[in-house]
Chain A
């Protein structure tokens, strides 16, 4: 029938994006997994043959705290980003068109300067002699000998700073489509401002929340520059280890095992969310 023909033609339309996914995601991912089972050679390349040795090496329990810290940092970053960007997205969707443009611009402006430079700026801000530290000491908010730099707090702060726009933008997109008349209805039915927000607005932008959370969580997992620049010796994330294996140890198979492991950590929760969104919600409806 015509609908069949139509759907086969529609399938053709997905070819460019499928090709993109194949070249830039599937093939590299397969290469990473293949490399994980190759021996390393002395020159920093990949040797011939197959081996499980690297996988055994990486199963060292010493990696567990790093993995845990990576997930923990990313989780906290995700929660804080959501908490900050929900009210922000709410306001952006409610203000007039001019103010909305200004706010959008403010969210996007950080992208105009280089990522490394922005982190460097934080490094000097948080430095013991930096303006922020001096100001906080002068205001007696922190003791004279406080260290704002090179600790877990600094890593989290800068992670949240860099990821915030990635939470605001999808949430704003969802909030813009939200029918704010529903909040009037909630107020009318006896819900105060806070309960109308939590019982009606939050469920209303639920899809935006999910995509913001996935975006921030996944992007945070792979970070290695931030812990290296503003973190201390004990704030390494899994990304730091991978970078170290690639750049200083020149052990590609070792780096690949770690990267494949991280990929599992990322993909499994995403798959669970996707399956739950597709099937779980449908059941709830019927």
Chain B
């Protein structure tokens, strides 16, 4: 059942601009799936095509085996939570939620119980008679979710569901969305430009860039083994190095010669040949800083550098370190230095080290 919602080679252009370029993906029933990418990457256009507001130039969209590509929005088994919620200002909260059931001409009793139950689920039973304008942002958001879910859609689309909320509320709604998803078990499709949001909401994420899907994977895999440098930079921070393979070891380890830095040993995730040029990626929080050279064999990569800049964030501290012509970002928890060593200051000479398993080879698309 990995193909409940299927996007099959869908392309959509606006004028000469290809907003969505031959995208194919499939989502399982009950999955929480995110379309993640910067603005203009085509994620919203793709969402609008699933909802029925745009029609693909080519390709098909299927839900539960039914081809819905040409159906108008009102006939699709899909409902949307809009970015600005799009609640009807002239109707009460209760009537907003009842709207979809009224449109499908359900019996009065079913509408009453359906709306009441849904308002209970989003904990808005007491606000039922208020107008949307009298609610807070988070409450409006929950009305929008209730209004969509009451129709028992097979797929729920959420367009930047948290973008309009402030930080505290966003973290709260994040948990709430996960709870609601667990309770109703409907397939959720999120569209977001916020990687943190996508990571904590979804089972799987499709990272989009310039109308194409770069990688579809679980949040963990995207973070740990990004396939392109775009994915690596979009999801979290990354240090990149371009180098040449100088030694192939067993079990997929390769030694790469990086100009002006040294020859780190890293884990490759593809077929690599000797003397090949490639790109390495190390996450800032995988790098340890020490004042003395770490005691280690050749299986730990260690390089000397000078601290250029320090930024304190409370939960962690970021260091920018210069080594030759490289500027490397390292991110550390303050407590790491409690064991006898003092925290390095600006201008201090430090050693950066990372384990070979924490270094990654990313796709070579822009290494050439």
Contact = CB atoms under 8 A, between A and B. Distances in A.
Contacts of B100: 189-190
Given A200-B88, A204-B89, A204-B90, A186 B82 contact: no
A57 interface: no
B86 A190 contact: no
Top-6 shortest CB links A-B:
A190-B103, A189-B100, A185-B86, A187-B73, A203-B90, A181-B86
B103 A195 contact: yes
Contacts of A188: 51-52, 73-74, 78-80, 82, 148
B90 A179 contact: no
Contacts of A191: 74, 99, 103
Interface in A180-234: 181-182, 184-192, 195, 199-200, 203-204, 206
Nearest to B103: A190
B151 interface: yes
A285 interface: yes
27 contacts: A179-B84, A179-B86, A184-B51, A184-B82, A185-B80, A185-B82, A185-B87, A186-B88, A186-B99, A186-B103, A187-B52, A187-B53, A187-B73, A188-B51, A188-B73, A188-B74, A188-B80, A189-B151, A190-B100, A190-B104, A191-B99, A191-B103, A195-B103, A203-B90, A204-B89, A206-B90, A285-B131
B147 interface: yes
Given A181-B84, A184-B82, A190-B74, 8 more contacts: A184-B53, A186-B99, A187-B52, A188-B51, A189-B74, A190-B100, A190-B151, A204-B89
Interface residues of A, number: 19
Interface residues of B, number: 26
Contacts of B87: 185
B324 interface: no
Interface in B160-218: none
Interface of A: 179, 181-182, 184-192, 195, 199-200, 203-204, 206, 285
Contacts of B78: 188
Interface string B218-238: 000000000000000000000
Interface in B52-104: 52-53, 72-74, 78-80, 82, 84, 86-91, 99-100, 103-104
B329 to A, nearest CB: 40
Of B79, B82, B99, the most chain A CB neighbours within 10 A belong to: B99
Nearest to B85: A185
A189 B53 CA distance: 12
Contacts of A200: 88
Contacts of A179: 84, 86
A199 B74 CA distance: 14
Contacts of B147: 189
B325 to A, nearest CB: 50
Contacts of A187: 52-53, 72-74
Contacts of B53: 184, 187
A181 B82 contact: yes
A197 to B, nearest CB: 13
A192 B79 CA distance: 14
Contacts of A203: 88, 90-91
Interface in B314-342: none
Contacts of A190: 74, 100, 103-104, 151
Contacts of B82: 181, 184-185, 188
